[in-house]
Amino acid sequence: MLLNPDLLTQLSPLDLKAKTIVEGFISGLHRSPFYGFSVEFAEHRPYNRGDDFKHVDWKAYGKSERFYVKRFEAETNLRAHVVLDISSSMYFKHFAAWSKLRYAIHFAASLIYMMHRQRDACGLVLFDEEIRDLFPAKSSYSHIRMLFSRLEACLAEEEADSKQKRASASADALHALAESLKRKSLVVILTDLFENVANHDALISSIRHLRHQRHEVLLFNLLEQRSERDLDFPNGKFLFEDMETGSEMEVIPAQIRSEYKAKVDEYTKRFRIACSEVKADFEAIDTESPFELALLAYLNKRKRLS
């Protein structure tokens, strides 16, 4: 399950929820084999040959017997952009406590909080059929507050606009983003990859485009595992509706489950291979799973880029 979704729903504002998620994650790291990720990762970096010894944090050395250099507020280690799919298919939930969009918004907020702790410059991109909002990557506190405010608005929009039909054109949005980003960045994409079948090649091409522009890419494919990957519905007949077009289809899940799962696995495998070929990272995330799994995938990517 999610990290206490009932409690997180009661917490307000979103930055407090993000802090709760991230601090719980960091605390868990200290009790796990991944202890190498220090709780002070925001304020320090490992000592490198040539660094001035006057900046070594001797208190940190006393605790860990490792040399760490104090990181200054002015340092920006990375430029990152969190790219969030806000199309109508992201409103879906059946078994999970939250919709894919609500899960993605909280995950995006957690990433932004973590990036800010690491003194990284962070931007935010929202898209459906096109890019709706593009906030440049900055590291100031006022900028981060603005990003949280926009994500808060997304939560309100989810409650108010759930009946609207907003299609996804991920490929067009990512191509446009690749052209608009002028400096090398880490692009973290949160999407369910629900795209018209005819556009699958174009979507893969857009990821290649980002890599061609020398951006690092981490793609999170967010789906509700039991319903959207496993088609794990009870026996009987169900009426399924396309949340982006409104088209409907009557289905008996038990009759098509095996073939459906094979198709979904094939689709996922294709994206995983396509990402691997261009050295982009692909992570399949279940919206009933804890945020910790997704945050660890990000942190591992971040560590490789240090």
Chain centre to alpha carbon of residue 159: 21
Spans of the chain, pLDDT less than 70: 1-12, 30-45, 47, 51-54, 60, 70-76, 161-163, 196-198, 306
In this prediction, residue 197 carries a pLDDT of 64
For residue 199, the model assigns a pLDDT of 74
Whole-number pLDDT of residue 1: 42
* 3 state SS of 280: coil
At what angle are helices 200-212 and 253-277 packed, to 10 degrees? 20
What is the share, in percent, of the chain residues with pLDDT greater than 70? 82
Cα 20 versus chain centre, distance: 17
Find, among 85, 192, 119, 106, the residue nearest to 151 by Cα: 106
Amino acid making up residue 270: R
- Rounded to an integer, what distance in angstroms lies between the CA atom of residue 76 and that of residue 143? 14
Alpha carbon distance 220, 200 (integer Å): 16
Q: What is the pTM of this model?
A: 0.82
**Is residue 83 within 8 Å of residue 190, measured between CB atoms?**
yes
Q: How many helices (H) and strands (E) does the chain have?
A: 9, 10
Q: DSSP letters along 258-278, please?
A: HHHHHHHHHHHHHHHHHHHHT
CATH of range 79-304; options 3.40.50.410, 3.90.226.10, 2.60.40.1120, 3.30.420.10: 3.40.50.410
Q: Quick one: which of 105, 143, 126 has its CA closest to 13? A: 105
Distance CA 188, CA 60 (A): 31
Identify which of 208, 228, 229 has the alpha carbon closest to the alpha carbon of residue 217: 208
CA terminus-to-terminus distance, the chain: 31
Q: Tell me where in the chain the CATH 3.40.50.410 domain(s) lie.
A: 79-304
Gyration radius of the chain over CA positions: 20
C-beta of residue 26 within 8 angstroms of C-beta of residue 53: no
Q: Which amino acid is at 118?
A: Q
